[in-house]
């Protein structure tokens, strides 16, 4: 199981939110590039970089941060937040993203999302299936749709999606454990590459996610709050 560290960006700084609420913003580091270098030096290979300004604005904004991290590290970066157009996708890849995540776009403009799958290939595109009470949420989690998360993922699997990041918003930033039952339900009878996101607080949480065959797990606040060290995370994925 891949261990993927999250760096969320607002105004160029490394922050974390709780349950996606922008009013809960806590700034951890002013320079995300230094954070990324620290990750790489500790043996971490994968980075989940989220443009929270972009998610709110519905267009890519913090691509200069992506470009700096890509140029100064060898981290494998997936990038999301505000990718709503072909131009946004083009900018993200040109700035160094190895994969891009589309969430709101897959709900609001599925033809564009499907065109990304066709143009870049399914290994480059991640479906963002963020949910609240098992209903898909969009626009930086500021809106909730009536789409049921498992149906949503299955629909896009039929379109060729292989990789999915699923965040249970109720768990995000709470450090109370991941949504294991939800992930078990999603993974039942499918070979989708599921990346769990939200709530990871300990190595035990990661072990349980690995046991249910998640392909990856995103760690954010647990690292920033000192619950799990980079050395422990690096050793876990070894």
DSSP 147-158: EEHHHHHHHHHH
Q: What is the pLDDT along the chain (238 residues), one digit of tens a residue?
A: 999 999 999 999 999 988 888 999 999 999 999 999 999 999 999 999 999 999 889 999 999 999 999 999 999 999 999 999 999 999 999 999 999 999 989 999 999 999 999 999 999 999 999 998 899 987 656 667 789 999 999 999 999 999 999 999 888 777 889 999 999 999 998 999 999 999 999 999 999 999 999 999 999 999 999 999 999 999 998 7
Which of 88, 130, 168, 172 is labelled catalytic? 130
Q: Which residues pair with 138 in a beta bridge?
A: 143
Which of 8, 51, 78, 205 is labelled catalytic? 8
60 contacts 91 by C-beta, under 8 angstroms? yes
pTM of the model: 0.94
Which of 172, 168, 102, 173 lies closest to 139 in space, CA to CA?
Answer: 102
Three-state SS at 72: helix
> What is the chain's alpha carbon radius of gyration, rounded to the nearest angstrom?
16
pLDDT of residue 169: 87
Residue 220 is part of a domain; what is its CATH number? 3.20.20.70
Sign of the four-CA dihedral 22, 25, 27, 32: negative
Question: What is the extent of the structural domain holding 15?
Answer: 2-237
168 is catalytic: no
CA distance 224 to 171: 16
123 is catalytic: no
pLDDT of residue 148: 96
pLDDT of residue 140: 58
How many domains does the chain fold into? Answer: 1
pLDDT of residue 141: 62
């Amino acid at each position: 199981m891949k261990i993927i560290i999250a760096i969320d960006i607002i105004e160029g700084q490394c922050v974390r939110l709780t349950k996606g609420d922008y009013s809960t913003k806590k700034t951890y580091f002013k320079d995300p590039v230094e954070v990324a270098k620290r990750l790489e030096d500790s043996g971490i290979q994968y980075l989940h970089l989220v443009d929270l300004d972009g998610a709110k604005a519905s267009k890519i904004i913090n691509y200069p941060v992506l470009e700096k991290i890509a140029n100064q590290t060898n981290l494998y970066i997936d990038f999301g937040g505000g990718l709503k157009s072909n131009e946004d996708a083009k900018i993200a890849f040109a700035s160094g993203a190895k994969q891009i995540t589309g969430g709101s776009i897959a709900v609001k403009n599925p033809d564009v999302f499907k065109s990304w799958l066709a143009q870049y290939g399914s290994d480059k595109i991640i479906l963002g299936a963020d949910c609240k009470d098992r209903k898909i949420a969009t626009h930086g989690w500021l809106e909730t749709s009536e789409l049921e998360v498992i149906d949503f993922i299955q629909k896009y699997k039929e379109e060729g999606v292989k990789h999915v990041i699923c965040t249970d918003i109720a768990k995000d930033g709470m450090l109370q454990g991941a949504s294991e039952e939800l992930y078990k339900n999603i993974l039942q009878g499918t070979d989708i590459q599921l990346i769990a996101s939200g709530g990871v607080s300990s190595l035990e949480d990661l072990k349980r996610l690995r046991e249910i065959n998640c392909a990856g797990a995103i760690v954010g606040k647990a690292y920033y709050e000192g619950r799990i060290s980079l050395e422990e995370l690096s050793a876990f994925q070894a």
